[in-house]
Every structure is written in C-alpha cells, then in structure tokens.
Amino acid sequence: MEDEPSPPNHAVSHGSPQDERTATAALHVPDDTLNADGCNTAGRCTANAVEGRQDFHVTDAPPFWTRHGRSVSSVSYHSINGQRPAPITLEDRSFEENEVTQGCWAKSVSIDDFTIVSGATGIGAYVVWHCTVATLKGGDLEMRKRYSEFDRLRTDLVRAFPHAEAMIPQLPRKSTVSRFRPRFLESRKAGLAHFMNCVLLNPEFAASPILKDFIFS
C-alpha cells in the first residue's frame, strides 16, 4: 500500500533574516521623494507609505494633476505693489461750443435742374446747374454753377486739405460727345449732388473760406 501524499504546506516561508533585510531594502524609498500622502514625486505610492492599508495599488498621477503657476507678468502690477489705479474723471462737454461743431450750418444740398446755354451760332454751349442748399436754420440758398466751378472747388479743397483727400469724392466724368445727352446729364446731376453733400456736410470743409466763396460768389 502506497503512502498517501502529505497535504500541501500553505505556510509561507519568510526565508532567512538576510533575505528579509534584502526585501525590505528593495521597498525603501528615500524620505525626500515622498509627499504628504506618502507618494513619491513620480506619483507612485510605496508599500511603506500605505502602511496598514490592504487595498492600495500603484498608479501614475493623472495628467491633470499638473501644478500651474502664475508668472509675474500675468499678475496685475497694482496687485503686486498694493496700489490702486488712478480714478477716471468724466467730464460732460456736450454743451461746449467749438469750431468743428460750429462749422456745420447746412442740412442738405440738391441739384434740382439744369439749363443748356448755347451761343448765337451754337458754338461754346455749356450747362448751368441749379443747386439748393437747405440750412439748419430753415432757410434755403439757391445758386447756379457750371461744371468747371465744381471742378475748381474740388481742386482747391484737395490743396487746402491734403490729409482729407480721401473724403472728397471724385466728380462725374467728362465727355465731349455725350455732354448734352439727357441720360449723361442725369448721371452727372446725381454725381454733383453726391459731391456737394459730402463736402458741405463735413464740418471741416463747411467752415473753410473756400466753400463759402464758392457758394456766395
């Protein structure tokens, strides 16, 4: 009769004292690399740090556990020095008069009609434009101007206000062949009205002697 095998021995041998010291040294982590939770700077917890816990495991720190510092450049200068910014003073000048606002005296300009003036022999004919300026005070100013006078007005304004040339519209184009045709004259009429409104409703231009001479001459 064969001998029955002996039951397996479940006792764990701890080995010799020398082996236990070697195992303990392998688990040792320097104190200066542990934080308050017993984890080292890499985010790994040691067996010594979780002494008395049975459910611990080794893991890496989540990526959002990154320390975000604020540099001095992003900190308010006044918060660093403990100073308050200078107070803002608001002044109401809506009732003050100045030369710029006083330059506006017209409300609108319209080119109402035109007249073709011809010589005795039909040579040297030209067009006279009938203009009406509505003032802010309620009165109207009527004037009659030739195209050459509008052209001279624009040249004088560009020379006097070179910094504002972009605000002075171009005049309608010239045409020797079509200058008396109704369609061409209607297009020129609209272009002259646009030019006069842009110029006369600009406070800087309206206050200039150049524009006043043009209107009252």
Q: Mark whether 32 and 118 lie in a shared domain.
A: no
| 72 inside domain | no
pLDDT tens column, 5-25: 555 554 444 455 555 554 444
Q: Mark whether 107 and 37 lie in a shared domain.
A: no
Structural domain count of the chain: 2
pLDDT tens column, 48-98: 444 444 454 545 555 555 555 555 554 455 555 556 666 776 665 555 445
Q: Mark whether 127 and 197 lie in a shared domain.
A: yes
| 194 inside domain | yes
Task: Please give the residue range of the domain that contains residue 159.
Answer: 100-216
Q: Mark whether 185 and 120 lie in a shared domain.
A: yes
Burial class (CB in 10 A: 0-12, 13-18, 19+), 148: exposed
| 212 inside domain | yes
Q: Mark whether 107 and 211 lie in a shared domain.
A: yes
| 123 inside domain | yes
Q: How many CA atoms lie within 13 A of 127 on its CB side?
A: 22
**What does the alpha-carbon distance between residue 35 and residue 89 come to, in Å, rounded to a whole number?**
53
The length of the chain is 217
Q: Mark whether 141 and 198 lie in a shared domain.
A: yes
Q: Please answer whether residues 113 and 185 qualify as being in contact, where contact means their C-beta atoms are separated by less than 8 angstroms.
A: no
Task: Check which CATH number belongs to the domain holding 168 and give it.
Answer: 3.30.1520.10
| 11 inside domain | no
Q: Mark whether 41 and 121 lie in a shared domain.
A: no
Q: Mark whether 135 and 208 lie in a shared domain.
A: yes
| 81 inside domain | no
| 69 inside domain | no
Q: Are strands 140-146 and 126-135 parallel, antiparallel or unpaired?
A: antiparallel
pTM: 0.54
pLDDT tens column, 130-144: 999 999 999 999 999
Q: Mark whether 25 and 112 lie in a shared domain.
A: no
